[in-house]
Amino acid sequence: MKKVVDIDLVLAKADKFYEKCNFQPALQQYQKVVKLSGREDIGDKIAVCKKELEKLSAKDMIKRARKNLKKKKIKPALDFFRKAYKITGENWLAEKIDELESRDQSNTAQNAAQSAEKKGEYLKAAQLYGQSAGDKGNNKFCNKMAECFVKAKKYKDAIAAYQTISINLDRDFYYYGFALAKEGNSFKCLKMWDKLINHYQGLTEQKKIIATQLILDILEQYKNNQDIGRIYEQALYIINFPGCDAEPWLKDLLEYARLKFIEKLWDKKDFESVANIIFNENPDSRFQLIKPEMITIGAKVGYHLYEKSGFSQNDFPMYWINSVYNHNNFKNDLKESEVIRKELLKKAEQKIKKKDSALSSKESQRALAWWDLEKKIITELKCLAENLGEGVENVCTPLYAARVSKSQEVLKWLNAHEDSFVDSEKWLETGSYFTPAIQALYLAKSGEYEKAFQEIALLKNNSDNNEFITFGINKVEFEYGMFLFENGASRLGRYFKTAGNFFSRALSYEKKFARMAMESEKTEDICKYEEILGVIHNSRPSKLINKAFSFVMTTRAIDLYNLDKLSLKAFNGLVKKALRFDPENEFAQATLENNKTQIQIVNLDNALGKHKISKACDIVINADNWEVERAFFDFMENIIDSADSHLTDNFTNLDKILLFNEILQGCEKVDSTHAMNDRIKMLIARID
């Protein structure tokens, strides 16, 4: 017997699956209802189920595609993405398919390129690597393409390819330079090969061959009246080329090209480029300012740059002073040169002051301060070079050295001649201006201590700091601390934690600071000095710091005592503490001795006030001090006068005799010859 199916029950079951988004069983149940009953009113739900199931299928396809991509299986991944796209038609899937198809083709082209390269078919390999690079130009494949062009002797194509890509590897620098040389550009070839980190075998010989060709190229350019700037640049390069023994005619050509190029730049008013020629050349080939009048030319460069709109006023000393002190003038330093130099410096200073009148007070202060500092340092270096008879090429200002990356060169020179300085402090201070601390030191010089302190904060944690940098950092920290001191700040100890280390190499600063501390008179300043000296003592207890600390501590104790903020006992304790820091502190010694007398007199008063005459006598005898003894007899005289002049019923003659006898015993015990003894005896006799 055939089983009867309840259509309503099947439909209810299908709806339940549908509501729970369980579309696969819902579809099966709906289709069963249609088959059994022929109902058409559930067609929409059947369509929804099919649509949702297609989406689920598409998601599954995408998931499988991504799994294949992770395994670098591009073809299977493409198949799954295509199937998903047929279902959904989403744009991103179409883009993904295009990308993978391009990668698939690229991989095919890459494999073919590698195969062609191995076979020596370099032109074919270059073309295939170009295809592998794709539209976006994969840098790796572009580099390989250019390299294969070189190997295929297609040098122009190689140069064109290298010009469009970034180059970082030695092999690329080499092949690019090789292609340039083959196309007749010897100068660019050598410049490219200069970038090589590791030299290939035989490269030195190749460079010599190309350098020889460059000399011929320079001569040819000169004969054909080509660009004088390019001739100058290339001649300067080849003369400084390692191992190049330049012919005299080449040096003459360089001088000629240099002068003609300067003339051309001057006509164009390109004074910055003129300055670069004068200042930035290799020391062995720098512009020869031998004649005194040539000093003026160099100075004019700085003048024009200073006048140029937008040119920083702080650069003016750099350009002007380094022109005036150009090292070539020291070879035959004529008196005439020195007169011109002084005159130019004077004019420059007038120029700065005149222009500073239009500036703010801070800008004006900076310009003059930096000018004085630049002038001071370059003068010291000039004297050093003259005394040593060498190193004139290192005579420059710190700003100039920093601008042209010459600071390390100057420091190396200073390091080699520490003994030529008056002391290590002068040596370190001079060298510190040629370190990364330069900006902070210059700002401090112009009174911009807040900015200077911010600058050194960036340097303090650098593990590469040498003794010059450390000196500069400590110097700025000390000066910043004193700036805060003078401007009324409190709790200054934390700003002087490195002062001890600084003073160990800067004795003149230590002496000045100790003198200022000992000469201070304001209670507030004395308090600050005591705090700071305590911090410095803890880090470096030098004799001078201990002396100042002891003196200030004594002065501070006196101030507190005079303000009734210290008891005599506490005051005495502080002075004794001060003497521990400097046992030779005569001021503290005298103060302590005076304290001792005052304490003895106070103890004497207490004893006599309680009528303990015997104890009072012991105090006087042990004190062995005439002031204490005088106080004792003054007190006794007051008692005698009081007792003798006040006769009352309660104070009889017998009482007086007993009192006077007790006083007499005490006075004789202290000093048997004192006149007070005779007076007391007379009083006793009169009463009897």
CB contact at 8 A, 350 and 358? no
Contact call for residues 529 and 553 (beta carbons, < 8 A): no
Q: Please tell me the predicted confidence (pLDDT) of residue 44.
A: 73
CB neighbour class for 654 (10 Å; exposed up to 12, middle 13-18, buried from 19)? exposed
- Judged against a pLDDT cut of 70, whether residue 306 lies above it is answered with no
Please tell me the predicted confidence (pLDDT) of residue 1.
43
- Rg for the chain, CA atoms, rounded: 49
**DSSP-derived secondary structure letter, 4:** P
Measured N-to-C along each axis, helices 316-324 and 271-280 cross at an angle, to the nearest 10 degrees, of: 50
Quick check: helix, strand or coil at residue 651?
A: strand
253, 218 Cβ separation under 8 angstroms = yes
Could you tell me which residues come within 8 angstroms of residue 346 by beta carbon, excluding any fewer than 6 positions away? none
Alpha-carbon gap, residue 371 to 365, rounded angstroms:
10
648 beta partners: 651
Count of alpha carbons within 13 angstroms of residue 82, beta-carbon side: 9
Q: How far is CA 474 from the centre of its chain?
A: 12
CA distance 65 to 77: 4
| Torsion angle (degrees, nearest 10) of CA 72, 78, 79, 84 | 120
Amino acid (one-letter) located at 261: F
| Phi, psi angle pair for 651, to nearest 5° | -125, 90
* Residues 573 and 606 sit within 8 Å (Cβ to Cβ): no
pLDDT band at 302 (very low <50, low <70, confident <90, very high): low
16: pLDDT confidence band, cut at 50, 70 and 90? confident
Kindly state the tokens that stand for 604. Answer: 């004497």
pLDDT at 297: 62
Report yes or no on whether pTM surpasses 0.85: no
User: How many Cα atoms are found within 13 Å in the side-chain-facing hemisphere of 474?
Assistant: 23
The structure tokens listed for 357 are: 């009148």
Position 601 confidence tier, pLDDT thresholds 50, 70, 90? confident
* pLDDT for 535: 92
Q: What is the mean pLDDT of residues 264-293?
A: 63
Helix 653-670 and helix 626-645: axis angle, to 10°? Answer: 170
Q: Give the percent of the chain with pLDDT over 70.
A: 81
Contact 23, 54 (CB under 8 A): no
pLDDT, tens digit (0-9, with 9 covering 90-100), for 136-158: 555 677 888 888 988 889 999 98
Q: What is the mean pLDDT of residues 54-74?
A: 76
3-state secondary structure 23-81: HHHHHHHHHHHHHHHCCCCCHHHHHHHHHHHHHHHHHHHHHHHHHHHHCCCHHHHHHHH
Asked if residues 440 and 476 have their Cβ atoms less than 8 Å apart, the reply is yes
Contact between 13 and 28 under an 8 Å Cβ cutoff? The reply is no
Residue 105, pLDDT score? 56
How many residues appear in the chain? 688
Taking the C-alpha atoms of residue 564 and residue 545, their distance in angstroms, rounded to an integer, is 28
67 falls in which pLDDT band (50, 70, 90)? confident
Write the DSSP string, 281-332.
Answer: S-GGG-----SHHHHHHHHHHHHHHHHSTT--GGGHHHHHHHHHT-GGGGTT
What pLDDT does 201 receive? 77
Q: Does residue 626 or residue 552 have the better pLDDT? A: 552
For residue 402, give the DSSP letter.
H
pLDDT of residue 311: 46
pLDDT band at 203, cuts 50/70/90?
A: confident
Average of pLDDT values for 546-560?
Answer: 87
Could you identify the residue written with the tokens 């370099």? 122
658 by DSSP, 3-state: which?
Answer: helix
Cα distances (angstroms) measured from residue 164 to each of 137, 145, 196, 275, 654: 9, 12, 20, 33, 129
Distance (Å, whole) CA 261 – CA 235: 12
Q: Which of 96-110, 314-328, 378-392 has the highest mean pLDDT?
A: 378-392
- Out of 56-60, 312-316, 567-571, 654-658, least confident range: 312-316
Q: 429 with 506: CB under 8 angstroms?
A: yes
Please state whether 184 falls in left (phi above 0), alpha (psi between -120 and 50) or beta.
left
Residues 536/545, Cβ–Cβ less than 8 Å: yes
Distance CA 475, CA 151 (A): 60
666: exposed, middle or buried (C-beta count within 10 Å: 0-12, 13-18, 19+)?
buried
**What is the CB neighbour count within 10 angstroms for residue 504?**
15
Residue at 495: amino acid letter: Y
Please report the pLDDT score of residue 43 as a whole number: 72
Distance CA 20, CA 607 (A): 107
Q: How many CA atoms does the CB half-sphere of 473 hold within 13 Å?
A: 19
What mean pLDDT is predicted for residues 192-207?
Answer: 83
Q: What are phi and psi of 37, to 5 degrees?
A: -115, -15
Most confident of 54-58, 89-93, 326-330, 551-555: 551-555
Instruction: Quote the CA–CA distance of 106 and 610 in Å, as a whole number.
Output: 115
pLDDT score recorded for residue 479: 94
From 616, 562, 558, 569, select the one nearest 596 (Cα to Cα).
569
What is the spatial distance between Cα 596 and Cα 593, in angstroms, rounded to a whole number? Answer: 5
